[in-house]
Chains A and B, each alone.
Chain A
Amino acid sequence: MQAKTFTMADLIRYTLVIAILIVFLFPIYWMVSTSFKPPPDILTRPPKWTFQPTLSNYVYAFEEANFALFLKNTLIVSVISSTIVIVLASLAAYSFARYNTGAGHLMFFFLTTRMMPGIAVIIPFFVIFKVIGGTAIGQALSLGLDRLGALVVCYTVFNLPFAIWLMHSFFQDIPRELEDSARLDGYSRLQVLWRVVLPLAVPGIAVTAIFTLIFSWNEFLFAFLLTRDVARTITVGVAGFWTQRGIMWGPLSAAATVCVVPMLVFALVLQRYIVRGLTFGAVRG
């Protein structure tokens, strides 16, 4: 192999990158390390860099604080609402992109709903779910207060406009000729959507899926006000470690670490699509 010369510019560049990485990754390191520290080692000053790792914080979070249920709730709500959002948004975005449905006004209207802060509608939502929860349909669909269905509906409503807007640009990038060509090759409109348009939109769908999933995963406001015990999610659960007796740093870090891991795995799996998806206009014949 040819020896690559290492210039002064490279040195500066790498030093800078490493410095930035340290700044950004340190909090994560601190969170993970705290989660494995025995309680007496957590708040020492100066901080203890070496310690006897323990799983007691995890045990506490899962056994005493019911964190397994929160994690399950979050997983169910995020996955279901993201799936609904992707299905609806891809159909809507395709319609907006290809048939200019609503001449742009309809899409703008959808987008404006995203401009409203959630806090402005939280009380109406609370009342609506309180009433629906009392009906037979509401119970069948799990739509009441402290029910997962209510969160699924909220997250879908709040993610949909953004997802439509994001996917719209991906669909617009797919040349119309490809669809015309597939029609002439003998496929109906729906078959073309399924066999040509959607496969080409996969990077866009992946990016949108990640954004909506992360939104649902991180959501706090609705989860905090619409749930109490049964449907409580991880974000509210993590906040619950700030108790009247003080902040339980160990279990809190353990819970936060558990929250980060699934998103990290998900992002890694979809990484190649994200890279392709974020460089818009990557679809070419």
Chain B
Amino acid sequence: MLELRSVTKEFGRTVAVNDLSITCEECEFLVIFGPAGAGKTTSLRMIAGVLEPTRGEVYFRGQSLKGVPPEHRNMSMVFEYYALYSHLSVFENLAFPLKARRYPGDEIKRFVAQMAEILQISELLDRRPGFLSGGQRQRVALGRALIRDADVFLLDEPISHLDAKLRHQMRAELKAMCAEKDATVIHVTHDSREAMALSDRVAVINKGKLMQIGAPDEVFHRPANEFVAGFLGEPPMSFVDVEYAEDDGRAVFLITGTDARLPASLEVSASVRERGLPSSFRLGARATEVSAALSRNETHNVPGEAFVTETLGHRNILTAKLGKNLVQVVTPPELTIKVRDTVWLNLSQENLHVFADGLAVAHPRRQSN
């Protein structure tokens, strides 16, 4: 079990990681997910031991790693920009960690050949990294990290710089390889699909702080705050500014800038009674969870104006304007919508997330579908 206990890292006056506590179980595939500059790589480097935390400590199997140099931590890392040794051949790069552990020569050869086979780089073993393509370098970097049985594998955006097709393929291969090794993996990425697809659990961080940690399903369907909701998933969640009102004792949301009103759920009114009225209420709509119609009906009863339509082939994405808010909705390709058309959206508490002052108050109830 690997733990970050209230770890803080400052570079001068910049706080890169701020009081971060994360626990990674044995054999777990944990993804640290966040935007650029969130402190993901810094966290990983502190786990690896190439950076020392300013405050807080990293624990592994109950023991503090403070003062333990990286070469004694038995962790293996893939660096974002590969960090291949350009003066060594691919073979020597792959053999490098084995040599440090004084493996006998024939065993090194066997391991390298095996790894090269898996990564399909057998014919490149004599080349220098400078003569490889980006995808090939990536494979060598992965191979070098996975060639030995480390206690923890640290992967820093290992496939982010590949083109889309190769990335897709490597994602699956990576997952298979790690599953086979039964390894503890901490994987850093800014790609939400990668985070969802690979992880047992996702830790979402922003500005050096932990936003939410949980199974990908949970983080996706029950985001703890607006940041997590807006950052995870594609297309990103749309937010609608609303005002809270009580009408005949019934709680309603008034969409700012329109005269549409939605009944608010009991959870919301309970929260208001308990914590008082927040300074802002926002509704979050996932493009896949809401739908649009060209005419008003029982469920599609909030009017908006079609603003942009994007065609993706198997589906379209409509961006509708509600007052000042933009809401994205996935629509079937057979629904033809022209820009400036009036569209009717089925916004309701059944399919919306509610955020008060940025924190989640209620989630859609149908989350299991």
Contact = CB atoms under 8 A, between A and B. Distances in A.
Q: Do A and B bind each other?
A: yes
Interface in B67-121: 69-71, 73, 75-77, 79, 81-87, 96-97, 100-101
A178 B82 CA distance: 9
B70 A184 contact: yes
Given A180-B45, A284-B130, A186 B79 contact: no
Most buried by B among A180, A189, A202, A283: A180
B313 to A, nearest CB: 38
B101 A186 contact: yes
Interface string B53-72: 00000000000000001110
Contact of A180 (B70, B87, B100, B129): B70
B79 A180 contact: yes
B75 to A, nearest CB: 6
B89 to A, nearest CB: 12
A178 B83 contact: yes
A188 B76 CA distance: 15
B144 interface: yes
A183 B45 CA distance: 12
Given A177-B81, A181-B79, A186-B101, A285 B129 contact: yes
Interface string A179-197: 0111111111101000010
B9 interface: no
B137 interface: yes
Contacts of A178: 83, 85
A209 interface: no
B195 interface: no
A189 B72 CA distance: 12
B83 to A, nearest CB: 4
B219 interface: no
Interface in B41-58: 45, 48-50
A183 B86 contact: no
A202 B130 CA distance: 16
Nearest to A180: B50
Contacts of B129: 285
A185 B95 CA distance: 10
A285 B84 contact: yes
B50 A184 contact: yes
Given A184-B75, A185-B144, A175 B50 contact: no
Interface in A65-85: none
Contacts of A183: 49-50, 69-71
Contacts of A196: 85, 87
Contacts of A118: none
A199 interface: yes
A283 B81 CA distance: 14
Contacts of B71: 183-188
Contact of A283 (B49, B83, B86): B86
A283 B144 CA distance: 20
Q: Which 4 A-B pairs give the minimum distances between C-beta atoms? A: A186-B100, A185-B97, A183-B70, A177-B83
23 contacts: A175-B83, A178-B83, A178-B85, A180-B45, A180-B83, A181-B83, A183-B69, A184-B49, A184-B50, A184-B71, A184-B77, A185-B76, A186-B71, A186-B101, A191-B100, A196-B85, A200-B86, A200-B87, A285-B81, A285-B82, A285-B84, A285-B85, A285-B86
Interface of A: 175, 177-178, 180-189, 191, 196, 199-200, 202, 283-285
Given A183-B50, A184-B70, 9 more contacts: A177-B81, A177-B83, A180-B48, A180-B50, A180-B79, A181-B85, A183-B69, A184-B73, A188-B71
